[in-house]
Amino acid sequence: MLLTMGRGAGKNNLSKEELRDNKRERDAANYQRKRTEITRKNALAQIAAPIIACPCGLTYKNYKEGKRSHYKTHKHELWEEETEQGLVPLVCQKIKQANNTETARLFINNHYLDNNKFSAAEKMGYVAKFVRLLNKLPDKPPPPLRKVKLFIRKAKPDTN
């Protein structure tokens, strides 16, 4: 009876090869079970994931894979490159008609088109040159100071 208990060669009357085959089968079954579990968990996470509006202008489903694949898109990489190089603030600093992110974006997009940069990949390859060109421009003059009128109200007399 003791001979059939425990593990290892000699303890359960199985040869080394049989033990190895058994272990291989157990491992394969465990792997399959875990894989199914992980696939199911990922599918559920994907369904439940909220949709995120990325500052790059695209949206993605906020779960591990969705986020990772979004970060690999050309459009997101372009946005990252532009942000890293400080393109929008630089345009606001140098270009008269760009006063905020929206007008700076308009200028940037027009400049890309004027220079035949149409795809995100083409634009990405151009960002460094764009920044160099902008840096050669003088800063735009500060906006004229606005006149501010001050009104002084007389305090109301106490009615009591």
Shortest distance, position 88 Cβ to Zn ion, whole Å: 15
Q: How far is CA 19 from CA 9, 29, 33, in A?
A: 7, 15, 21
Q: How far is CA 137 from CA 33, 92, 125, 128, in A?
A: 63, 12, 21, 15
Stretch of residues binding Zn ion (CB under 5 A), selected from 41-49, 55-63, 134-142, 152-160? 55-63
Residue 133 parent element (H or E) = helix 120-136
Helix (H, G, I), strand (E, B) or coil at 17: helix
Shortest distance, position 100 Cβ to Zn ion, whole Å: 21
- Cβ closest to Zn ion, residue 56 vs residue 134: 56
Q: Which of residues 62-91 bind Zn ion (CB under 5 A)?
A: 76
Q: Does 54 bind Zn ion (CB under 5 A)?
A: yes
Which residues are 53's β-sheet partners?
59
Shortest distance, position 79 Cβ to Zn ion, whole Å: 6
Stretch of residues binding Zn ion (CB under 5 A), selected from 29-37, 56-64, 96-104, 141-149? 56-64
Distance CA 32, CA 36 (A): 6
Footprint on this chain of Zn ion (rule: CB under 5 A): 54, 56, 76
